[in-house]
Amino acid sequence: MGIIYKIAIIGLGSIGKRHLFNIVKVLEEREISYSIDLIRRDANEEISEDIRAIITEVYTDYSKVPNDYDVIFVTNPTHLHFDTVKSYVSKTKHMFIEKPVFSDPTASVQELMLDSKGIYYVACPLRYTDVIQYVKHEIDLSKVYSVRAICSSYLPHWRAGVDYRNTYSAHMDEGGGVSIDLIHEWDYIVYLFGHPDKVENFRGKVSHLEIDSDDLSVYIAKYKNMMAEVHLDYFGIQTIRELQLFTYEDTIIADIANSRITYLKRNETISFAESRNDYQLKEISIFFDVLEGKTSNPNDIGTAIATLKIAKEGSL
Distance of CA 248 to the CA centre of its chain: 32
Does residue 219 register a pLDDT over 80? yes
Q: What is the pLDDT of residues 34-77, one digit of tens each?
A: 999 999 988 778 899 999 999 999 999 999 999 999 999 999 99
Q: What does the pLDDT read at residue 184?
A: 97
For the chain, give every domain's residue range: 4-123, 126-272
Beta strands (DSSP E) in the chain are: 4-10, 33-39, 58-59, 69-74, 92-97, 120-122, 144-154, 198-204, 216-222, 227-233, 235-247, 251-255, 260-263, 268-271
Virtual torsion, Cα 83, 89, 95, 99, nearest 10 deg: 10
Q: What is the pLDDT of residues 72-107, one digit of tens each?
A: 999 999 999 999 999 999 999 999 999 999 999 999
CATH of the domain spanning 4-123, picked from 3.40.50.970, 1.20.1250.20, 3.90.1150.10, 3.40.50.720: 3.40.50.720
* 120/232 Cα distance (integer angstroms): 27
The CATH homologous superfamily for domain 126-272 is Dihydrodipicolinate Reductase; domain 2 (3.30.360.10)
Using pLDDT thresholds of 50, 70 and 90, give the confidence band for residue 316. Answer: low
Q: What is the pLDDT of residues 263-300, one digit of tens each?
A: 999 999 999 989 999 999 999 999 999 999 999 999 99
Angle at 41 between CA 39 and CA 42, to 5 degrees: 110
